Amino acid sequence: MLEHLVLMCDHPRDAHDLARLEPSLGPDGARRLQERLLDHLAHTARAWQSRRSDRFVTVFCQGGLPTEFRILLGEDFIYEKDSGGSQGARLAVAAVRAFSRGADKVLLVGTNCPDLTATDVERAGFALEHVDCVVGPGHAGRYYLVGLVAPTPAIFARMPWGTGALLARTLEAAQQSGLRTGLLPRLPMVHGPGDLIHAAHLLSTPVAQDAERART
């Protein structure tokens, strides 16, 4: 059973959270944090992929060319140019592309969850043995992961992205689409200065230690 993990990635120089973080960290500090969040997600994805041979990782590249992301993250992922459009459209297209490659399960994650581990991603895949949709709730009514067993554009359409109503509206859309839905453990996310405490370890620990944390 093929599992595809899709990393929805902004290039660090163009990440949409940079402006919100710059007042606290400065331009260089905000960019460095985005780089560390991206690096952490890549280590997590690589650890998840290494556990089974039927797993694939695709990087959906926004704000930079696939070749630029390959330099940042390595040669062992699939790289695709972002489709453009709204956040919902990007997620829907990414899911459809993964299913078109033969995926039985598709997991989509962003870069702003500093505590995400390979075990969290694996738990999402296991959940899809019993449900049609799995969601990883973050704080403030958002989510860090969504997983599906079939393309379901309705759960991405006309959503209140960037607001505290996102999680509830997504679960409502899943129910209206007839999907059996499961929830993962809640994890912190980084969107603005008030969330920096959750990412302090990424700014203060060596890359090797962060890579080890991502494997667990």
- DSSP per position, the chain: --EEEEEEEE-TTT-TTHHHHHHHHHHHHHHHHHHHHHHHHHHHHHHHHHT-TTEEEEEEEESS-HHHHHHHH-SSSEEEE---S-HHHHHHHHHHHHHHTT-SEEEEE-S--TT--HHHHHHHHHHTTT-SEEEEE-STT-EEEEEESS--GGGTTT--TTSTTHHHHHHHHHHHTT--EEEPPP----SSGGGGGGGHHHHHS-HHHHHHHHH-
Residues 168-175, mean pLDDT to the nearest whole number: 97
Lowest-confidence pick of 83-97, 167-181, 197-211: 197-211
- Specify the pLDDT at position 13: 75
Split at pLDDT 50, 70, 90, the class of 17 is low
Please tell me the predicted confidence (pLDDT) of residue 201. Answer: 83
CATH number at residue 7: 3.90.550.10
Taking residues 107-114, what's their average pLDDT? Answer: 95
Say if residue 154's pLDDT is above 90: yes
pLDDT at 15: 60
Instruction: Point out the least confidently predicted range of 110-114, 169-173, 190-194.
Output: 190-194
Q: What is the pLDDT of residue 205?
A: 58
Q: Domain range holding 124? A: 3-215
Average of per-residue pLDDT across 136-157: 95
pLDDT tens digits, one per residue of 29-43: 788 888 999 999 999
Please, are residues 132 and 181 in contact by the beta-carbon 8 Å criterion? yes
Residue with tokens 């560390």: 36
- Number of domains the chain contains: 1
Q: What pTM was computed for the model?
A: 0.90
More confident residue, 193 or 214: 193
For the chain, give the percent of residues with pLDDT over 70: 92
